[in-house]
Structure 1
Amino acid sequence: KIPPFWRNDPEIWFLQVENQFTLANITSDATKFNYIVANLETAYISKVRDIIVSPPATEKHQTVSNNIVRSLWLGRLPSSTQAILATQAKASLDAVAELADTISEAIAPRAQISETSNARESTIDKLTAELAEMKIQLASLLQVQAQTNTYRRNRSNSRGRSYSRERDSDICWYHYRFGDQAQKCSLPCKHQENLAGSR
Structure 2
Amino acid sequence: MAQKEDPKMSQEIYRVGVRIPPFCSEDPEMWFSQIEMQFKLSGISVDDTKFTYVSANLEPQYAKEVRDIITKPPASNKYEKLKTELIKRLSISQEKRVRQLLMHEELGDRKPSQFLRHLTSLAGSDVPSDFIITIWTSRLPVNVQTAVATIKGSSMEKLSDLADVVYEMAPTVPQVASASSQAQGNEQGNPTMTEMAQQINSLTQQISLLSKQVAGRSRSRNRSRRRWNGRSQSRSKPRQPPADHPYCFYHFTYGTKAHKCKQPCSFASENSWGGRK
Q: TM-score, normalised by structure 1?
A: 0.37
Q: Which has the higher helix share?
A: 1
Q: TM-score, normalised by structure 2?
A: 0.27
Instruction: Tell which structure's C-alpha radius of gyration is larger.
Output: 1
